[in-house]
Amino acid sequence: MSDFTNDSLNRSLGSFSPIYNAVWLQDKFQFKDLILRLGVRIERYDANQEVLADEYSLFPTNSVAELRSIADGGSGRGAKLLNNYAIPNVIGDDFVVYVDDINQPNKILGYRDGAQWYDENGTELSNPDLIAQETNSGRIQPFLVSENEELVAESFADYDPVINVLPRVWFSFPINSEAQFFANYDVLAQRPSDGAVFTPYSQYYFLEFNQGGGLANAALKPRVTTNYELGFKQTLSRNSALSIIASYRESKGDFALVKVNQAYPISYLSYSNIDFSTSKSFRAEYELRGQGRTSIALNYALLFSDGTGSNANSSAALIQANLPNLRSLYPTQYDVRHKIVTRIDYQFKGGKDYTGPIWFNKKIFANSGANLIVTTQSGEPYTAYLNPVASVATGSAQRQSLDGNPYGSRKPWQFKVDATFSKNFTVKKKNVKDDFRRPTMDIQAFLWVQNLLNTRIVRGLYGYTGLPNDDGWLSSPEGQQLSANELSTQSYIDLYNAKVDYPYNYLTPRLMRLGLRVYF
């Protein structure tokens, strides 16, 4: 911090250089038919940067204990704040004091402990705007250590490294010669993304001029996910088996966009470890292997995924709706209720094992095959809105109102077929007289086709219309008025429609790749 503040000509900024350490220990035990794997992973994460000492103030503030010291001294700014006033008993010594005016404080208006606010009588407040409205300026006024409002070293503190102990247990044992029970338990940690945690000092300097903007949170910690899984596998025949698996996944400390309301000098958006999510799933898997030329794998998954947020920015709509503190369980964007995946592999062997057709005395399909992956799934959830906005126009600042709950609507079902066709060749090399080189070269020619049926698969859509190519803005009264005021109304409409039909709202259309793999 001192290198940045004291060297005004250079203002040197270091790159993001977190320190990450981990150790992994695992052992395997076998007691008769019981197989047990025990492991533990210990991770240490240090963002290796300074964080705000108080996320609600860029500048050092006075606590209740420091206010009492100033009052006992009898002189200085704020010395008379305790005249004819007694601090409520519920207010702790480390609470931050808020006054009517930063430069000339004459009255205490409230207190804050972390993110919990209190009025001057010690009553808890859910909305700090009530304190701001009573100040001389109409803006929140913390009792600052210095009215100069300069970033100093005391505004920051070192990042507190996080150590996570992550156990893992896996075991299986046969019930009989044709059935097996297995289970596993593991805990995982995920570090925050660089964009959410890296906060150079320059961001703090320009925070006041970034109205409505965001600030990364240098104090973000890794989120922790716990997985439980129980499974049962039954052999149905010599070539087939059925597995039934139930799992539960819990994620704590998920990253979420939050509004730091009534921070000083300005309210801002940032990220915090406040979200929580759970996933409950049931899977049934059927395998058929080596049945002639055909192998089949069929997988069905039933999933229920709920949480207070789906991703780091999913709470943006609640913040826009002035409901930043609403934390309820809703379906997440990963809540795909039904998913069926079928894999069909059809292969012809070569040589004496070839059983396919022979044309013109040629085993035309020897060492060739086809692989199909058929995926069917129910629609992913999305958030619907009551009013349209100009989604692709610049300079537009409309606010949308939620229609129901976040992620309360569903996209259409999806159906997709991927295919791979391949044929293998073996070519003998010439003049290979040693044992260090392979005498043959294997070549595989393949045709890989994604979305074989060229199905239109919707990935993204607009919350007002539920369509991927129309946001409803041009049909609204506001959109029609804006279009009429343009220099060329028809040109504006055509260009707007072209831009709103965003290609990435759809999954890949039919895409074919023809290639060779050479092994030598």
User: What is 61-121 written as a DSSP string?
Assistant: B-BHHHHHHHHHHT-STTTTTTTT----TTS-TTPEEEES-SSS---EEEEEETTEEEETT
d(CA 302, CA 335): 10
* Average predicted confidence (pLDDT) for the chain: 90
Range in 94-103, 136-145, 320-329 with the lowest mean pLDDT: 320-329
User: What is the DSSP-derived secondary structure letter of residue 491?
Assistant: H
**Which of 276, 302, 335 is the C-terminal boundary of a domain?**
335
Which of 45, 59, 57 has its CA nearest to residue 17? 45
Looking at the chain, the whole-number percentage of residues with pLDDT higher than 90 is: 64
Q: ∠ CA 60-64-65 to the nearest 5 degrees?
A: 95
| Of 47-51, 149-153, 294-298, 368-372, minimum mean pLDDT range | 149-153
Shared domain check, 486 and 369: yes
The pLDDT assigned to 27 comes to 94
Q: Which of the listed residues 116, 148, 180 is the one where a domain comes to its end?
A: 148
Residue 395 has pLDDT above 60, yes or no: no
Instruction: State pLDDT tens for residues 3-22.
Output: 676 666 777 777 889 999 99
Neighbours of 352 (CB within 10 A): 5
Please state which of the ranges 76-90, 180-194, 307-321, 487-501 shows the lowest mean pLDDT: 307-321
- Residue 434 confidence (pLDDT) above 70: no
Over residues 63-77, mean pLDDT: 89
Same domain, 400 and 510: yes
- CATH number of the domain that residue 276 is part of: 2.40.170.20
Kindly state whether residues 393 and 501 are assigned to the same domain.
yes
Q: Are residues 330 and 203 in the same domain?
A: yes
The pair phi, psi for residue 320, each rounded to 5°, is: -65, -35
Instruction: Return the closest-CA partner of residue 161 out of 2, 28, 49.
Output: 49
What mean pLDDT comes out for the span 155-170? Answer: 95
pLDDT number for residue 328: 82
Is 239 in contact with 295 (CB distance < 8 Å)? no
Instruction: Tokens for 201, please give them.
Output: 């000092």
**122 and 46 share one domain:** no
Same domain, 167 and 267: yes
Q: Which amino acid is at 490?
A: Q
Beta carbons within 8 Å of 352's beta carbon, 6+ residues apart: none
What's the pLDDT score for residue 13? Answer: 77
pLDDT in tens, 265-307: 999 999 999 999 999 999 999 999 877 789 999 999 999 999 9
Q: What is the pTM of this model?
A: 0.82
Angstrom distance (rounded) from CA 453 to CA 449? 9
Does one domain contain both 377 and 459?
yes
Instruction: For residue range 133-158, list pLDDT tens digits in order.
Output: 999 999 999 999 998 888 888 889 99
The number of folded domains in the chain is 3
Contact 370, 409 (CB under 8 A): no
Q: Over the stretch 200-232, which tens digit does the pLDDT of each residue have?
A: 888 888 888 877 778 899 999 999 999 999 999
Each residue of 460-490: b (16+ CB within 10 Å) or e? ebbbbbbebebbbbbebeebeebbeeeeeee
Residue 435 banded pLDDT, cuts 50, 70, 90: low
Confidence (pLDDT) at 436: 66
Find the DSSP H helices in 215-312. Answer: none
**Residue 72 CB neighbours (<10 A):** 9
